[in-house]
Amino acid sequence: MKLVFRGAAREVGRSCIEIQTKGDRYLLDCGVKFKEDGFAYPKGVFDVPDLDGVFLSHAHLDHSGGLPFFEHKNLRGPIFCTAQTFALAKVLLKDSYEVARIRRLHPAFSRVDLKEVRKDVHTVRFNEKFRHRELEVTFFNAGHIPGSASILLELEGKRLLYTGDLNVKPNMLIQEAKPSYGAPIDILITEATYGYRDLPDREEVAKRFLQRVSEVVKAGGSVLIPVFAVGRAQEVLQILSKKKFNVPIYFDGMAKTITRRILANPSQFIKNKDRLAHMFYDVVESPRNQDERNAVAEHQGIFVTTSGMLQGGPVLHYLKHFWHDERSAVFLTGYQCKRTNGRELLDNGYVYLKGWRTKVHCQVEKFDFSGHSDRKALEGYIRAVDPKVLIIQHGDPESVEALAGWARKEIGCEVYGPGLLDELEF
């Protein structure tokens, strides 16, 4: 088999690995990368006519966002993913199309293409091996977001495992991934988002987060909590459920649709589902339009809303009401990409509100909740899988190098950190 790295090669974004066998061509993921002027697609993937199957690890757009473009180019092939991933990808792909249109980014596909993607999807169950052409395929829990999978392909007498995005540490929402795949793994393709960084203990982060929310509320301020729609939004609700606050909690933006989908399509790996359902259906309030948002933001409250990097969604609408109030706070709950409002707020204390660069006077703090494994966790995972060949991708060059250096020394397996369009043959 030959592997061609068409994205997420020494970068994060547009995940896509092509697998060529004797007569067939498959893809592991097909994502997009966000640029200021639109999306970057996997390199060269649309130039080859035949496609015999796509295996989708999870719903995030950096893994799924390229799918409608296939349909646009009339490249049809079955797309395999879990039912939960399908439920979430539908929402995220539709939203990416709407957002691209609103920002005049000329999305490279149309609404019709989104419908076509749905027709090609075959949903699969976790832990159940199935056959597709000459492949045997099994999806395992990856612990990253609801529905997320690591994908095991058995072909040409080899067992190849693609981790997708991976979380091997416990959190409130999803059971962590376990490194047990039935038999030894020949080729492990791992993500390396945090290949060179350790994250603080999640329980400690959650504790400090709750304490800080309490402090701000007690001092008379409001708390704005920007969240990612998938995973983080639900986990933040579960964490908030552990404490009583004497102010209302509001839940807004795309996180609402996603939470409904997660509760309607739970996999066996979702944890504390009742706690989440109770928070979502019985506790939080959900403003339905700008007037309602304006009305509730006039009073003290806790506002949990998308988008997580303050790039759109209702979050900026709320911020307009208390950016000048020193008693209030913005608590960021995830990674902030370069050139986003969230990063600008974190690094320099400014955001763009209605086109104006605005100095934010309320308190700003970041809490390191992550859906990925940190350096130590990745190392432990690789050690446990103990592959013959290790391929490292989905990480900055520093991350890939750090993990590769460690693996060469400690595991002694063959190690690769391929760049864009590099090919490996086994």
Nearest approach, Cβ of 264 to Zn ion (angstroms)? Answer: 21
Q: How many residues bind Zn ion (CB under 5 A)?
A: 2
> What character string, x for contact with Zn ion (CB under 5 A) and - otherwise, covers 121-160?
----------------------------------------
Cβ nearer to Zn ion, comparing 92 with 360: 92
The gap between the terminal CA atoms of the chain, to the nearest Å, is 6
Nearer to Zn ion, 154 or 165 (CB): 165
Angle, helix 83-102 to helix 111-120, in steps of 10 degrees? 170
For residue 124, what are its two tokens? 């699969």
| Residue 29 binds Zn ion (CB under 5 A) | no
Q: Which is nearer to Zn ion, 95 or 165 (CB)?
A: 165
List, in sequence order, the alpha helices (H) in 65-221. Answer: 67-72, 83-102, 111-120, 202-218
Q: Got the DSSP string for 29-40?
A: ----EEETTEEE
Q: Which is nearer to Zn ion, 206 or 230 (CB)?
A: 230
Nearest of 310, 318, 314, 128 to residue 221 by alpha carbon: 318
Shortest spacing between CB 145 and Zn ion, in angstroms: 6
Cα gap 400→193, rounded to integer Å: 8
Pick the closer one to Zn ion by CB: 163 or 222. 163
Residues 55-114 that bind Zn ion (CB under 5 A): 60
Q: What is the closest distance, in whole angstroms, from the C-beta atom of residue 146 to Zn ion in the complex?
A: 11
The nearest distance, CB 396 to Zn ion, in angstroms, is 15
The Cα 332–Cα 142 span in angstroms is: 24
* Dist. CA 385–CA 387, nearest whole Å: 6
Within 157-216, which residues bind Zn ion (CB under 5 A)? Answer: 165
User: Measured from the CB of residue 74, what is the shortest distance to Zn ion in angstroms?
Assistant: 28
**Torsion angle (degrees, nearest 10) of CA 175, 179, 181, 186:** 150
**Strands 25-28 and 16-20, bridge-based pairing:** antiparallel
Of residues 11 and 165, the one with the C-beta less far from Zn ion:
165
Nearest to 251 by CA among 220, 271, 224: 224
Q: How far is the CB of 60 from Zn ion (least distance, A)?
A: 4
Residue window 319-358: x/- pattern of binding to Zn ion, with contact defined by CB under 5 A: ----------------------------------------
| Residues of the shown chain interacting with Zn ion in the complex, contacts defined by CB under 5 A | 60, 165
